[in-house]
Each structure stands twice: as C-alpha cells, then as structure tokens.
Amino acid sequence: MRFVDEYRDAGRARALAAGIAARCEPGRRYTFMEVCGGHTHTIYKHGLEDLLPEEVVLVHGPGCPVCVIPMGRVDDAIHIASQPGVIMTSFGDMMRVPGGTGSFLDAKAAGADIRMVYSPLDALKIARENPDRRVVFMAIGFETTAPSTAMTVLRAAAEGVRNFSVFCNHVLIIPAIKAILDSPDLRLDGFIGPGHVSAVIGCRPYDFIARDYGKPLVVAGFEPLDILQSVHMLLGQLAAGRSEVANQYARVVPWEGNRTAMAAIGRVMRMRAHFEWRGLGFISHSAMALSDAYAAFDAERIFELPGLRVADPKACQCGEVLKGVLKPWECKVFGTACTPETPIGTCMVSSEGACAAYYNFGRFSRERVREATRS
C-alpha cells in the first residue's frame, strides 16, 4: 500500500537506527518530546524505542486532546446533559473520561441522553431530526478538529437549526508547548512536532521555539520511518549546532498550513483569555470559544454551568505524564488500579493517551528490548 508499506520497511528502519546511533556524541544524553499522542502510539506499537540507542530518550507531551481536558469541564458537560430535553453528543474518546461526578457513560446509565458521534455534522443531523430537543456537541481537540466544528456551526446558522449548540473545548498547541518550555521541571533537546495539527496551522508558528529557546523541532508523520527520520534530523541539527524548524511530513503538511481551515476557525471562534489544562494549570490564550457573532450556538451561554475546579485524584499522575516529567510506568497506579478497563486518569482512556499506549503495547518498566537493536 502506497505511503504505508514503504514507511514500515524493517531494513530502512535499521539503517536509520544505525545513523541515529552514529550521530550521538559519546557521553551525551538527548531528550526529545513527541508532542502528539499519535506519535507515542507509533513508537510503542512498532517498538521504535528498542531501536534507539540508550542516549536517546523520548518523552510524551500534551498533544492528546482528551487527556488535557480538566475534570471540571467534564462535570460541566454532564451538567448540560442532565438538563431536561437535552441530547449531548460526543466523540467516543470522551465517553469514559472521568470527571469529579463520573463519566459520560455513568451519566448515560443514570438516564442522560448522551450519544457517540463521529463528526459534529452527525450532531447537527440529530438536531434536525429532533427539533423539539436541544442538541449539544462536546467539541474537543486541537486545531486539527476545530475547523470541522467551525464549519458545522456555519452550516447550522445557514440552515437556521437553532436547537443545535456547541460546548467548545478546543485548545491550541503553541501555548502548551511554550508552557512546557518555560517549566523548570523538564529539560528538552528538541521536539518531534505534531503532524495533524501542523496540517492545519503549518510550520511557521513553531519558529519561536528555535529562535527564542534554541530548540530544534521537526514536524513528523505517523509511520515508523517518519519518527526515526525525525529523530535523525533532530540529531543532525544538534550536531551541526543549529536549531531550526524542519518539516519531515512534507507529503501532508504545507509550510503555511491550511488557510481555508484557519479562516473558518477565525470566523466562528475567538481566543479565551485563559483556560485550564490538566497537568499544566491555567494557560493564557490557550483555548477557543465561540465568537459573539455565533453566541446563539454557544452552550456556555445557553446553559448555566457550575464552572467548578475539580482536583485530579491524588493517586493519578496524568499531569506529570502530560508534561513529560514521568513515564507512565513510573505512576504508582499504572497497570494496577489504573487500566483501560478501570481508568483513573484520562491518559489511560484516550486512544492517543500515553498510558494507554504503554499499557496496550507492554511497556511496563524502564527496560528496553536490546535484542531488537542487535538484530
């Protein structure tokens, strides 16, 4: 299959791994953050960490949109869903995310009408079919999914579907990366940049990382050779004393991004002054809400919300995992009390969560499979 098989070639992977090892300076340790949860799953599904030399360490970042939603926002959504005449719609990833009062599945079991959808357009269709009900779409995701939400709001406005609204939780990747760079908890040598987000925003917004912080960033695809080549490119920059933004995923990501998608976001949404992120706290200008022009479709203005902050369970260390401070297997409840069947934190729930990746692909300890490197 074109664009799949050739990016999973074992011989080329071993050649890239050898090239990575050759670029490592003796006695130096390199720490790179893969920002996107999709990258984390590729790394552990295909055993890429076992191909890398010990000097190269990959840590997970905050690029899982479900994982960064704080518990209080989940409780707000459940509150909306519990109102008379409301149909709450959501992507499947959100259904089991725990809030302070339970999850969507718990609320559904208690009688709330909560339905899984694959697109905000599905939610709009439900609104058309149920004109006597108020249909709310739980909008989550980075800039990757924000355009589809924006276009759905535009269509709802054009069709006059007034019983449709959006509970907007779209977040922005750049402020999150800046918060990590400003954090004293972690010292990074570079970033494996998110591919899907970059397909929308392009590569230029990352310039400040190289310019102001002296860290290279390589926007990467999601196949095994994409990840390995990105690490190879990062090491090449560091060996040459350079810090630049590079685009390994040029077959998908245009340097300037998708201007049509960005225009739709700009038309329908506005920047929030601040927004709470799980593990990172409140970050200024890091999320979006619907603009005043589309206030009629804004669930936060239609419904009165509790808006309470809810602390994560003391046993859960998702915050440290999202910042790259801890590996999932270093969490006290990982793989014991917290599993995909009984998740305590969001990182174990989402298909892009780091804890789910480590658990599903058997990474329960620091030990790497060195045989993979020698083969």
Q: pLDDT at position 1, please?
A: 54
Q: Is the pLDDT of residue 45 over 50?
A: yes
C-alpha 89: how far from chain center: 20
* pLDDT digits 0-9 by tens, 71-113: 999 999 999 999 999 999 999 989 999 899 899 999 999 999 9
- pLDDT band at residue 370, thresholds of 50, 70 and 90? low
Q: Is the pLDDT of residue 371 over 50?
A: no
To the nearest 10 degrees (0 to 180), the angle between helices 120-129 and 146-159 is 20
* Distance of alpha carbon 368 from alpha carbon 366, whole angstroms: 6
* pLDDT digits 0-9 by tens, 216-270: 999 999 999 999 999 999 999 999 999 999 999 999 999 999 999 999 999 999 9
What CATH superfamily is the domain 66-172+257-302?
HypD, alpha/beta domain 2 (3.40.50.11740)
Residue 83 burial (CB count, 10 A):
14
* Distance of alpha carbon 70 from alpha carbon 277, whole angstroms: 6
3-state secondary structure of 372: helix
Domain boundaries, the chain: 66-172+257-302, 317-358
Closest among 19, 58, 15, 35 to 239, alpha carbons compared: 19
In DSSP terms, 116 is beta-bridged to 90
Mean pLDDT of 151-178: 97
* pLDDT digits 0-9 by tens, 275-314: 999 878 899 999 999 999 999 999 999 999 998 888 888 8
Return the DSSP state at 342: S
Q: Vertex 227, ends 222 and 233: CA angle to 5°?
A: 135
Q: pLDDT at position 367, please?
A: 62
* Distance of alpha carbon 210 from alpha carbon 255, whole angstroms: 16
Q: Is the pLDDT of residue 3 over 80?
A: no
* Distance of alpha carbon 62 from alpha carbon 174, whole angstroms: 11
Ramachandran bin of 343, using left for φ above 0, alpha for ψ from -120 to 50, beta for the remaining angles:
beta
Return the DSSP state at 313: P
What percent of the chain lies above the pLDDT cut of 90? 75
- DSSP notation for 27-39: T--EEEEEEEHHH
Residue 367 burial (CB count, 10 A):
9
Start-end of H helices in 160-303: 173-181, 195-201, 207-213, 224-239, 259-268, 299-302
Mean pLDDT of 168-190: 92
What stretch of H or E contains 356?
Answer: helix 354-360
At residue 282, φ and ψ (nearest 5 deg) are -80, 130
Q: Is 81:361 a contact under the CB 8 Å cutoff? A: no
Which residue in the block uniquely carries the two structure tokens 């439900």? 126
